[in-house]
Amino acid sequence: MSQIGERWPVDSSLVSRGGDPSRLRKALLAWWERCGRDFPWRKTRSAYHVLVAEALLHRTRANQVVGLYEKMLAAFPTVHALAAADPETVYKLLHSAGLRWRVGSLLNAAQEILQRFSGVVPSNRAELESIPGIGHYIAAAIRCFAYGENDAIIDSNVVRVYARVFNLRVTDSLRRNRDFHHLAQSLVDPKHPREYNLALLDLAAAICTPRAPKCEVCPIAIHCTYGRNKLGIQSAAIS
């Protein structure tokens, strides 16, 4: 099994080897158009709404977040409203889902955005990551889902998918590996980054699951080392 490292540059050893990532993108997007999940935060381009959704989604199943997301936006429809919120009110709203620990980071982020950016969630990566509670993942999600930027969205589920596609050894540091980030970034569809990232997340949730992945119905099995091995497929666009 391959291992990404400093001596194995991604651009020459993975992306270009075996050919054309556009085939993978096309297959994934075609599948997503038929099978993509429907959540309320996917219907907005509001950076504030995306911020709230991503904060609630962290280590929480999406289906559990829908009601809370809608309650949060009903109670605090703007950054200004959340920045001025009584912490105990927010605690009570999130308590039922065991998300009380998210309250501090959400309030701090809203207050910082209000004070430093006049209540407008910035699109600049460095500015986003300078806000308390916004790390690389949430910053990328805001940039991609709200502002349409061509950013790779990388969580443990995306790591699992790409590790299977490219036959990579999953380690604790892989998600933070610079070369892995270059690989993930190179695969994002430049014309449809939002849709591509959503499709990848949905594939990980519905088909490329941690246990017993459904390779027989996977739209990118032919492009995946794991899938081809499991199904006995020889040819591929990416290997």
Interatomic CA distance for residues 91 and 77, integer angstroms:
17
Q: Are 131 and 115 in contact (CB under 8 A)?
A: no
**Active-site option among 112, 129, 149, 155:** 155
**Active-site option among 91, 127, 137, 147:** 137
Write down the H helix ranges in the chain: 10, 21-35, 47-57, 62-75, 79-83, 87-95, 103-117, 125-129, 136-141, 156-166, 178-187, 193-206, 225-231
Please say if 202 is a catalytic residue. no
**Active-site option among 54, 151, 179, 189:** 54
Please say if 179 is a catalytic residue. no
- What Rg, from alpha-carbon coordinates, does the chain have? 19
Task: Tell me how far the alpha carbon of residue 5 is from its chain's centroid.
Answer: 23
Please say if 86 is a catalytic residue. no
Residues carrying an active site annotation: 54, 137, 155
